[in-house]
Structure 1
Amino acid sequence: MRDPRRRSGRARATLALFAIGYGLRIARPLLLPLVLSVLLAVVLAPLVRLLRRLRLPYPLAAAIVVAAFTGATGVGVYALADPATTWIERAPETMREIERRLRKVKESVVEARQAAETVEKITSVDGDRPPTEVTVKEPSLASRLVATTQSAFLNAVEVIVLLYFLLAFGETFLRKLVKLPSRLRSKVHVVSITTDIEREVSSYLFTVACINAGLGAATVIAMSLLGMPNPVLWGVLAAVLNFVPYLGSTVTLIVLTLVAILTFDTLPRALFVPAVFLGLATLEGQFVNPMIVGRRMSLSPPIIVIALMLGGWIWGVVGLLIAVPVLAVVKIYCAHNDELAPVAELLGSD
């Protein structure tokens, strides 16, 4: 007979997990900028330390790094805003054009649909009386883009401010933490563990960012050679979405396929575009990433899928983008803690 206390403990743990999930979802406006700024601070911390070697104070070094990062990001967004907006506005027209070009391929589907509509009309009881149409006026695309841009701008300002303070005063906070009353051995342990975790996480995230940037650059070159419009836009899309394993490359592949069908006259030439990108993504995922990142930082595929589901449910698209980096941070932290080492082993793919 099972122990009722054990079942009660499992029930409480399950309820606690659901409560944490809903709490994170409700606190999204507060926690999302904080998590993003922490991840960016970990990635950019080596650049701040590099400027510190020139005897620059932390606030000045952090200001230079944040200004350079913000400027580069702003220039990129400004350069890609027009083509991205154009493609978004053309989306309905694009889908109609793609449907027209693929009409020969799906003639059987269209005929079946027409037959079904005919049967429905014959069997309809109120066939002579047309149904009342109700039109719901939705917000225009322009108004939705303006609202989204305003929200994104405010979130970006929050992330930049938090990022600066984390880079400028992170070391000061660590020194104050060490000064807390405690044994000398535990102080040394705190400093050692914190430094190791920060450097390992920074190295991992920076390496993954470089790999994704390499995939984006290769995509830009390939799309340029194949005659695709706006190749830089597709390269940036491939680099950003590659932070989302499996799903990101799939979305990029679908987008490139649709754009290629719209761009080229013949279907074989259009399908050559996604085939080339599929080859690049396979090369990156199966060879480049494992070779550079190594098996030590590899994550379990089922755990990755679960993390993506939770990240998307809790924080939407941004949650999908940061789910795997956050999972990697958790694994590194657990690997440096003897009590949590089994959790790190569970998260790994070995």
Structure 2
Amino acid sequence: MFNSAPSLVKSTSLIVFIFLIISGLYFASQFLIPIAISILLSMLLIPLSNYFEKKGLNRIWASLICIILMISLFGGIIYLVSLQAAGISDNLREIFLRIQQMIIEVQKFLAETVGISTQIQKIWIDKQTNNGTNDAIILAGSFLSYLMGIMIKSILVIVYTFLLLTSRSHLKQFILMLVPKEEVKETERLISDASKVSQNYLSGLGIMVVILWIMYGIGFSIIGVESAIFFAVLCGILEIVPFIGNLTGTGLTILMVISQGGSNSMVLGVFLTYMFIQFVQTYFLEPLVVGAEVNINPLFTILVLVFMEIIWGVPGMIMAIPMLGIVKIICDHVKPLKPYAFLIGKHKKS
């Protein structure tokens, strides 16, 4: 009993340490999320910055050009989406009338099958509307505050990314100073491998999203979906949120098709398009374009997605897989942590 006391103390200390890390990630999320996004973006932009530096530009100008190109890319995507969204807004009145008609049909269905009269349903709806009227101003204020928060965080991400690109050699030297001399080469290889994992995953994900835009655009256009390009771009962008994003994008497309008066065959066509593209994505695009750089088994992929969504929300889900890939690389290079790298990694067929 007494011989097991040291191991018990170590186990307890480890649990407390993990709890403190999780608590820190949760309570400092507003501070840490922009930094984490900036680290991943800077890793993605390092090869481009190195290219400009080889052409004779100093690091500050090379980093600045990388930031401008990144802003232009995201700005172009937002502009494309806004153009397509403007087309939808022109038909909002017609869509709203169709939604009202759908609500009336649902009310009739409930009255005929469940026995809830339309008068009772109207009373319930009126109560909800009256209760929500007083909160309209508060809701609008919260929305504006949310938009301001996004703008501020976006500016922080841009500034952090620029500073990380310009000072990456200094930061790397700092990390190397923390390890013993005999481990410097291994640490350098660790930093290089972790950076490559992020670069390959994020660049591959970007290429896959563009391919999905084309595939969804062709599929939705053939079916006859109104504003097909908008929904193709939406479905492609939402793919960056694993598992949930593709279902959300397709669900919104089906909902809009129904509200626009689309036929059952059109709804079925959207669903079949989704199933076909998911098949192509899973068995062809992801292995060829994204590759096996983030070699994580499905169990831990789902676990880390759920965990990061709890502590960091949607940004956590987007960053979960590349961050876990970096953690696995670290575990691969640190001998005491190799069992954890084996646990996180994919099972090898015997």
- Could you state the TM-score of these two structures normalised by the residue count of structure 2? 0.81
Which of residues 268, 287, 303 in structure 1 aligns to 2:265? 268
5+ long unaligned stretches in structure 1: 120-129
2:223·2:266 contact (CA, 8 Å) conserved in 1?
Answer: no
C-alpha contact (below 8 Å) 1:48/1:65 kept by paired residues:
yes
**Shift of residue 4 of structure 1?**
6.3
Q: Distance in 2 between matches of 1:76 and 1:144?
A: 26
Structure 2, unpaired ranges of 5+:
121-126
CA–CA distance in 1 between the matches of 2:118 and 2:99?
Answer: 23
Q: 1:223 to 1:297 in 2, by over 3 A?
A: same
Deviations 1:149-186, CA, capped at 9 Å, x for gaps: 21111000000000001112202332455567953x43
Residues 94-113 of structure 1 mapped to structure 2, 5 A cutoff:
97-98=98-99, 100-101=101-102, 111-113=112-114
Task: Give secondary structure in 1 for the equivalent of 2:167.
Answer: helix
Give CA-to-partner distance per residue, 1:111-155, whole Å, 9 cap, x none: 443359999xxxxxxxxxx9xx75662235654442222111100
Match of 1:207 in 2: 204
Mapped contact 2:110–2:117 kept (Cα < 8 A): no
8 A Cα contact 2:108 2:118, kept in partner: no
Aligned residues: percent identity?
22
Over 3 Å counting, the alpha-carbon distance change for 1:154 and 1:165 in structure 2 is same
For the Cα contact (< 8 Å) 1:260–1:271, is it kept in 2?
A: no
The answer as to whether partners of 1:98 and 1:258 remain within 8 angstroms in 2 is: no
1:46-89 CA distances to partner (integer Å, 9 max, x unpaired)?
Answer: 11111122121111111001011112212322342465588799
Amino acid paired to 2:342: E
Partner of 1:58: 59
Which residue, 123, 134, 147 being the options, matches 1:137? 134
Structure-to-structure mapping, 1:117-266, within 5 angstroms? 137-140=134-137, 142-175=140-173, 177-178=175-176, 183=181, 185-266=182-263
Partner of 1:30: 31
| TM-score (ref. length: structure 1) | 0.81
1:114 alignment partner, SS class: coil
Taking structure 1 as reference, are residues 167 and 137 closer, same or farther at Cα in structure 2, changes over 3 Å only? same
* Counterparts in 2 of 1:110 and 1:297: CA distance versus 1, 3 Å: farther
**1:263–1:270 Cα contact (<8 Å) kept:** no
Worse-matched range after superposition: 271-280 or 15-24? 15-24
1:241–1:321 CA contact under 8 A, matched in 2: no
CA distance in 2, matches of 1:326, 1:89: 41
Return the letter of the residue paired with 1:55. G
1:271-282 → structure 2 map (5 Å cutoff):
271-282=268-279
Q: Which moved more, 1:310-319 or 1:14-23?
A: 14-23
Cα deviation for residue 103 of structure 1 reads 7.8
Over 3 Å counting, the alpha-carbon distance change for 1:231 and 1:49 in structure 2 is farther
Give the drift of 1:293: 4.0
User: What amino acid is aligned across from residue 170 of structure 1 in structure 2?
Assistant: R
Contact persistence 1:244–1:320 (CA under 8 A): yes
**Distance change >3 Å, CA 180–CA 285, structure 1 → 2:** closer
SS of structure 2 residue aligned to 1:228? coil
Is contact 1:197-1:336 (8 Å) kept?
Answer: no
Q: Structure 1 residue 20: deviation in Å?
A: 2.5
Pair 21,105 (structure 1): closer, same or farther in 2 beyond 3 Å: same
Please name the residue that 1:127 is paired with: none
1:333 aligns with 2:333: no
Equivalents in 2 of 1:17, 1:186: separation in Å? 26
Compare 217-226 and 280-289 and name the one that shifted more. 217-226
**1:320 has 2:317 as partner:** yes
Q: Is the 8 A contact 1:98 1:262 kept in 2?
A: yes
